[in-house]
Amino acid sequence: MRALDITENDDVLAVTGSGCRALSLVVNNPHTVTSIDSSPGQTYLLELKLAAIRHFSYDTLLEFLGVDESTSRWRLFEELKPHLSDGAVAYFTRYRKAIVGGVLLAGRHEQLYVRLVAPAMKLLYGRAMRDLFAATDLATQRRIYRGRVDGVLWRTMIRHGFTERTLKAVLNDDSYNVVTDEKSCGDYVLERLDHTFENHLAGENDWVSFMFHGRYPRRDVLPHYLLRENVEAIRAATTKVNVVRGDLMERLRALPDGSVDKFSLSDVTSCIDRDQFATLMKEVVRVARPGARICYRNFLSRHTPAADLRQLLHREDELCAQLYFDDYAFVYQFEIYTVGADQR
């Protein structure tokens, strides 16, 4: 949100991912949000979340998605069916278990934390983690982290647990063309974990809370789009939300010149190779309106625009550094560009 500064006249293009970020973009009531993903699951998930936000009360929404306990999620899904496409109904009927267990906990990535990371953390660092998440100032948190968590066991687990191999096993999608520029995935994740525990209060960080508990323990510490005021803003927005399943590069090629104001490309950079990235940026610059903003995030890759495009783009260095520091999803490096007004 800070990278893109969305206003009511904006036409926004997003990569869908889990749909969370695409929904956050609606909070500022832009003119349109077109959200694209090649994966049917991600596409139906965004459709489901949007329909649930529009249809359910706030309490029922949190129950349905999996923040709160529930034994009635399938009944709620039945209630939601008239507001969903046939494709989404068929998809979630096939993945009934994901609905019944709460879709927020059902993803492959999330299941890693629910089944493995959170139980292991409880076993090994139960009391230290409880105190760390209860800390209300950074000095106390740092003391707990350095004194009672950080040590040989912690460092060995992170270094050997977060390898490219484990990540590939978790993501399990052969169509991803992963580029890795970081020397060691484990060392990088460890460095970023140190950063987040040194600089962000864990108890206020929805992502870290989820990683270490396998659920969202606090109602006021949720992903941005699920906070009460943002759910209300999404409901009230007049934004036309287009949920599109397809290849990002193909979709971009079909768009006219100068038709998009803001690009939220997520870490799609984690799934594409250098050639695909070059094509992506060329098309993004072509369809960008003068003054448009582009934001993408790098995890293990360090994709940057080609030299010829650089002349048309202004990199927002200070904002990139600040968001890399501030972001609660602490592993992503931000790339933010403003498209020059005289590009055409």
Helix boundaries (H) for 2-144: 20-26, 40-55, 58-65, 73-80, 86-94, 96-101, 108-111, 118-134, 138-144
Compute the half-sphere exposure of residue 52: CA atoms within 13 Å on the CB side of its CA.
31
Pick between residue 149 and residue 268 the one whose CB is nearest to ligand SAM: 268
Pick between residue 150 and residue 327 the one whose CB is nearest to ligand SAM: 327
Cβ within 8 Å of residue 189, ≥6 positions away: 158, 162, 331
- Six-digit token string for 279: 């094509």
Burial class (CB in 10 A: 0-12, 13-18, 19+), 236: exposed
111 scored as a contact of ligand SAM (CB under 6 A): no
Q: Which residue, among 49, 300, 33, 264, has the nearest Cα to 171 in the 3D structure?
A: 300
110 scored as a contact of ligand SAM (CB under 6 A): no
- The distance of closest approach from Cβ of residue 247 to ligand SAM in the complex, given in angstroms and rounded to an integer, is 4
36 scored as a contact of ligand SAM (CB under 6 A): yes
- Rounded-to-integer distance, Cα 146 and Cα 194, Å: 9
117 scored as a contact of ligand SAM (CB under 6 A): no
- The distance of closest approach from Cβ of residue 39 to ligand SAM in the complex, given in angstroms and rounded to an integer, is 4
To the nearest 10°, report the CA torsion of 179, 183, 186, 191.
Answer: -110
- The distance of closest approach from Cβ of residue 297 to ligand SAM in the complex, given in angstroms and rounded to an integer, is 7
Residues 41-80 that bind ligand SAM (CB under 6 A): 42
Number of residues that bind ligand SAM (CB under 6 A): 18
Among positions 10, 21, 186, 237, the unique one binding ligand SAM when judged by CB under 6 A: 21
* DSSP class of 162: S
Among positions 78, 198, 247, 257, the unique one binding ligand SAM when judged by CB under 6 A: 247
Phi-psi region of 243 (alpha: psi -120 to 50; beta: other; left: phi over 0): beta
Pick between residue 135 and residue 245 the one whose CB is nearest to ligand SAM: 245
**In the bound complex, which residue of the shown chain has the CB atom lying closest to ligand SAM?**
17
Pick between residue 213 and residue 297 the one whose CB is nearest to ligand SAM: 297
Among positions 13, 17, 287, 324, the unique one binding ligand SAM when judged by CB under 6 A: 17
| Residues 326, 67, 113: CA angle, nearest 5 degrees | 65
- Six-digit token string for 248: 């990002």
- Rounded-to-integer distance, Cα 88 and Cα 47, Å: 7
166 scored as a contact of ligand SAM (CB under 6 A): no
- Rounded-to-integer distance, Cα 136 and Cα 98, Å: 35
Among positions 45, 221, 227, 248, the unique one binding ligand SAM when judged by CB under 6 A: 248
18 scored as a contact of ligand SAM (CB under 6 A): yes
Name the one range near ligand SAM by CB under 6 A: 111-119, 204-212, 218-226, 262-270: 262-270
267 scored as a contact of ligand SAM (CB under 6 A): yes
Cβ within 8 Å of residue 224, ≥6 positions away: 1, 20, 24, 27, 206, 230
Among positions 12, 24, 35, 37, the unique one binding ligand SAM when judged by CB under 6 A: 37
Pick between residue 129 and residue 331 the one whose CB is nearest to ligand SAM: 331
Pick between residue 37 and residue 150 the one whose CB is nearest to ligand SAM: 37
Which residues here bind ligand SAM, judged by CB under 6 A? 15, 17-18, 21, 36-39, 42, 247-249, 266-268, 270-272
